[in-house]
Amino acid sequence: MDINTKKLKKNAFRVTKVRNKTASRIRVPGGHLEAKYLPVLQHIAEAYGDGTLHITNRQGFEIPGIDFEKMVEVNALLESIITGMDINREEENGGYPAAGTRNISACVGNRVCPYACYDTTAFAQRIEKAVFPNDLHFKIALTGCSNDCAKVRMHDFGIIGMTEPQFEPDRCVTCGACVKACTKKSTGALTMVNFRPQRDAQKCIGCGECVLACPNMAWTRSKEKYYRLTLLGRSGKKNPRLGENFVKWIDADSIVQIILNTYEYVEKYIDPEAPGGKEHIGYIVDRTGFEEFYKWAMKGVHLSEKAEITSPMYWSGIRYK
């Protein structure tokens, strides 16, 4: 058996513990797909794999037990999924053109969840379209609201949906539901002043609990969609840590631009000796200093006046001794 493992990894296959067997990794940007693709996956698993299928942490599928020589056939079968999900690819029937930039995962978002402040899957697909294929090791995740069910702070880029609550005093009936919800479930940004809730904009995280709690639509959502962008969280063996708040009340265009800019920054500064060409962005930033990263990341980015940038940025996390 002569197989170029570097090449197969980039083609979204894996070297597994079973000799001569690989696993096919199917990315599902935004973690939401039409059910019609499942029979294709079932067919691959039963005809080429061991009949099982793993749901991955990053919301893709992994089909194990495939013979290396069947990769070409499996890639041909994946064509309908890749084109159907509108995933950028280079060669017809060639399977996925890269695997370094991981599947962009998302919570179920506002297609289903009442709390979500936006369509997480659609935004994930937009980012996927902008960044894929790419061999650099980027982890991006989106979550609909500050509950962060998608655990985006474990990622290089975490995108948290926000809404800026709009208050119409004449619809307020002083029931106190918003203040109670904000105090018990969120940051306590609301207090009752003269029979009406007063919002502390500094404390408000745009979670929308007040909007959901208000029985009379005195609180509603802003027309504009806002996000919180968190940076450089990671798991791993060296210094796992949560992503820190970078920009609060940021817009979608700026997020996409910052991510694209970061690819250029990483190409410039990644450790040329990094094993497998893979280095978490955070370690690169640790090396260059945040200011250098910031300079690259913010090129051509025009934030609105509402956007609040955290400065200086610090991370903590776990250090093994």
Partner 1 sequence: MGYCFTEDGMMSVWSELEKRYDIYAPKRFAGKGRFSDTDCVRYGQVHSATEIVFDKKAEYSAKEFLLPNAETLFYFTEDQILESACKEKEMLVFLRSCDLHAIKRLDAVYLEQGFIDSYYKRLRDKVKFVLMGCPKAFDTCFCVDMGTNKSTDYDMSIDKVNDKYYMDCKIEEWTELFAQSAERVQDVQPAYVTETKTHVNLPVQMPNTMLQSDLWREYDGRCIACGRCNFVCPTCTCFTMQDMYYTENGKAGERRRVWASCMVDGYADVAGGGTYRKKHGERMRYKVLHKVWDFQKKHGYPMCVGCGRCDDICPEYISFSHCVNGLKKACKEVMENE
Which residues of this chain interact with partner 1, rule CB under 8 A? 110, 114, 116-119, 144, 161, 163, 169-177, 194-195, 208, 211-213, 215-218, 220-221, 223, 225
Minimum distance of partner 1 from residue 321's CB (angstroms): 45
Q: How many Å apart are CA 150 and CA 123, to the nearest integer?
A: 14
User: CB–CB of 222/165 below 8 Å?
Assistant: yes
Closer residue to partner 1 (CB): 190 or 270:
190
Closer residue to partner 1 (CB): 5 or 174:
174
Minimum distance of partner 1 from residue 112's CB (angstroms): 10
Minimum distance of partner 1 from residue 85's CB (angstroms): 22
User: CB–CB of 146/189 below 8 Å?
Assistant: no
Closer residue to partner 1 (CB): 183 or 288:
183
Closer residue to partner 1 (CB): 31 or 208:
208
Minimum distance of partner 1 from residue 28's CB (angstroms): 22
Minimum distance of partner 1 from residue 226's CB (angstroms): 11
Q: What is the DSSP string of 94-154?
A: ---S--SS---EE--GGGT-SS-SS-HHHHHHHHHHHH-S--S---EEEESSTT-TT-GGG
Q: How many Å apart are CA 194 and CA 250, to the nearest integer?
A: 32
Q: How many Å apart are CA 85 and CA 291, to the nearest integer?
A: 37
Paired residues of 61 in beta bridges: 26, 55
Pairing of strands 244-250, 308-309: antiparallel
Closer residue to partner 1 (CB): 161 or 243:
161
